[in-house]
Structure 1
Amino acid sequence: MNHRTAPVEIRERFAVPSHRLQEEGRCIRSLPDVDQCVVLSTCNRMEIYYWSERPENAQEHILSHFLGTGRGNVNMGAHFYSHLGAEALEHLCRVLSGLDSMVLGETEIFGQVKTAYQMALDAGVTAGCANKTFQKAFTIGKRVRTDSQIHAGATSVGSVAVELAEQIFGDLSGTRVLILGAGDMSRVTGRALRARGAEGIYVANRSFDRAVELAGTIGGQAIRYDVWGDYLKDIDVVVAATAAPHCIITQETLLPLRAARKYRSLFLIDISVPRNISPDVADIDEVYLYDIDTLTQLADEAKRSREQEVSRCEAIIQDNISKYFPDSALYDQ
């Protein structure tokens, strides 16, 4: 099952935490008619890859293992999918390539599949066929990413903002960030900035407790809302996402700070509605301003670009399946 076939309240019933992947793999391997297996469990999918001389029987045992006596309470046709032989191999390659992900072309899934396979290998629940299949599937997944643009461009507002910041500063290592507001958009953008090297992150919110909470999750420091203006002279990036009904950063806010800032670049990310930053601050030479509409437009353009790459990726997968997996090789033990 995955994010398209089952809602989170169903997926969470079958999720396997990473520290239990080996144990779960051994349990499934011990079921009747299961010869080899790999368990893949992420926030968006739960999949069992298995090898069997009687795959239909093995599937029934696997489903009973997870569902037990509650099988009648689950909509089997709606939530589960099953692929056999070449179709299963194609699905694995699509997963590795990011074609089956919630965010088309995302790269995290490749590492998650590698971890799942390594766990199965360490648990001793794979053998020649599984090992050969996954190793060659990894090669195909890499080929897709090398020979296409499926991963190009940022597809979320937070990631777009970070890419733009990197274009301005070149390297975000050591940059100082001020986050105004402690909602979900602030959290996502703050984490993305931290992941790219931002070091000094300050969080200000009218509710100080919420500022403390957000700062704790992104490795930042909470400051009182009434003093955030004192920090602007040393800040490189401002993320504005408050519920204020008016602009809280204007030309009058920034112009007096230019000399103290030594005319350094300042990147302003306004992801609030109504806007928190006056549009005319972009007229200041060293100030770069992007609002929610611009960021969303750039993210949508990247999504459309990735969608146009899908057919190319699928062709690469098919060509390489034919190259690496002649029909008989799918079933060789």
Structure 2
Amino acid sequence: MSYNMRVLVGGGLAFDTSPIELREQVAFRAEEYPQALSLMKDIMHLEEGVLLSTCNRVEFFSVCKNLDAVSKGWGQFLRFYHKKNFPFESYSQIYTGKYCISHLFELASGLKSMVVGETEILGQLKEAYMIAKERGMTQKYLNRLFQASFSAAKSVRSSTWITRGSISVSAVAVDLAEKLFGKLTGCSIILVGAGAVSEATARALQKKGANVIFVANRTYEKALELSKEIEAEAIPWSEFPSRIAKVDILISSTSAPHYVITKEKLAAHIGRRAGRPLFLIDLAVPRDIDPAVEDFEEVYCYNIDDLQTIADQNLKDRLAEVDKCKRLIEPHIERFYSWLVESINSQDSQFIRNFRMA
């Protein structure tokens, strides 16, 4: 459908409508944005345009005068740029008018993320917008639209609990460690086992200032390999119990069919800790750590179910905030619409009617 009017339109491929096997074929690196934007503008006949590519979505936001050219051109653009012969438009969602505004505002606020409330998407949107702006791809309408979306996101994040409460096992472990020790700068960690989740948890703790100083694994070569990646010391499996006296946090994730840390084994070293708290994180199934170790004062043990339960509750708390967030966003949508009506010139009066109906 071709109009002699401007239409606000956006959309594309997202995790809830297209599988990762599809999205990964058309992902864009940030350095590809400039070239891709120029091609997108030509193929889709855009007046303004922004391209967004993350691990969960490949989308665009635009102003055009030919909605059909945009709807058909989106798939053509992806096929031509990535040299893939696939009907990407069949898996894409297209939003026009107010639906497009609402989609962007909710996206910026983290409401449409796979992990509801995550904040990374806002930074990704800002980067995509700035690159498009520097290329001259955003003008009056998209400049105002994106600035309004950032304002809406700020309001949502500052007035609700949508971003609060960690919802991954590793992040929950960090939260608990901070509650126990305060600042984690200077806290020392030993990894028992070289599992992926324990490595992720250790790295999350490192970002907060903790130091991984020992890595122990039944296969010493695996401990050595991981220790090089996280700048720690690999130690023989038989030595890890004696090192407990020197650390603040122990993360265990072995595949042993029995406890590798028992109350009796811990008792031999707990006296040398001088009453310092010991945080034990058991990520193994079956469990690596005997729950009886909590009989010792200043020993705190959390298994993977404990952490997941906290994460699940935090997610429920976030989801409970979604309706409140949408109510907060609504005035921002209306303000942008009011500005649009006031600023649009007479030759675009049909655009206003289309915008209202969409």
TM over 0.5: yes
Counterpart residue identity of residue 3, structure 1: F
Q: Does 1:10 align with 2:37?
A: no
Moved more, 167-176 or 323-332: 323-332
Q: Does 1:289 align with 2:301?
A: yes
Flag the 1:211–1:50 CA change in 2: closer, same or farther, 3 A.
farther
Deviations 1:263-307 (A, max 9, x none): 211100111111100101111111111111111111111111111
1:52 aligns to what SS in structure 2? strand
Moved more, 99-108 or 174-183: 174-183
Partner of 2:154: 142
Partner of 2:47: 35
Q: CA RMSD in A?
A: 2.1
Flag the 1:280–1:134 CA change in 2: closer, same or farther, 3 A.
same
Counterpart CA distance in 2 for 1:10 and 1:217 is 32
Counterpart CA distance in 2 for 1:276 and 1:327 is 61
Name the % identity: 35
1:57 aligns to what SS in structure 2? helix
Contact 2:78 2:88 (8 Å CA) reproduced: no
Q: Does 1:300 align with 2:312?
A: yes
Partner of 2:246: 234
Contact 2:49 2:138 (8 Å CA) reproduced: yes
How many residue pairs were aligned?
331
Contact 2:108 2:122 (8 Å CA) reproduced: yes
1:179 aligns to what SS in structure 2? strand
Give 1:53 shift.
1.5
Counterpart CA distance in 2 for 1:130 and 1:192 is 36
Matching residue within 253, 266, 272 for 2:278 = 266
Q: Does 1:90 align with 2:107?
A: no
Flag the 1:212–1:56 CA change in 2: closer, same or farther, 3 A.
farther
Partner of 2:351: none
Moved more, 14-23 or 162-171: 14-23
Counterpart CA distance in 2 for 1:160 and 1:177 is 16
Matching residue within 183, 194, 208 for 2:195 = 183
- What are the residue-to-residue correspondences of 1:15-164 with 2, within 5 Å? 15-68=27-80, 70-71=84-85, 73-74=86-87, 76-77=89-90, 79-164=91-176
Deviations 1:182-221 (A, max 9, x none): 2221122122112222123432222334334444544544
* Greater strand fraction, Structure 1 or Structure 2: 2
Counterpart CA distance in 2 for 1:110 and 1:21 is 17
The gaps in structure 2 that reach 5 residues or longer are 1-12, 346-358
Give 1:124 shift.
2.4
Flag the 1:329–1:253 CA change in 2: closer, same or farther, 3 A.
farther
Which consecutive aligned stretches of 4+ in structure 1 deviate over 6 angstroms post-superposition?
A: none
The gaps in structure 1 that reach 5 residues or longer are none
1:35 aligns to what SS in structure 2? strand
Contact 2:105 2:329 (8 Å CA) reproduced: yes
Contact 2:192 2:215 (8 Å CA) reproduced: yes
Moved more, 21-30 or 154-163: 21-30
Give 1:75 shift.
6.3
Flag the 1:330–1:259 CA change in 2: closer, same or farther, 3 A.
farther
Flag the 1:259–1:70 CA change in 2: closer, same or farther, 3 A.
closer
Give 1:63 shift.
1.6
Deviations 1:104-146 (A, max 9, x none): 1111111111111122122222112111111111000110111
Partner of 2:177: 165
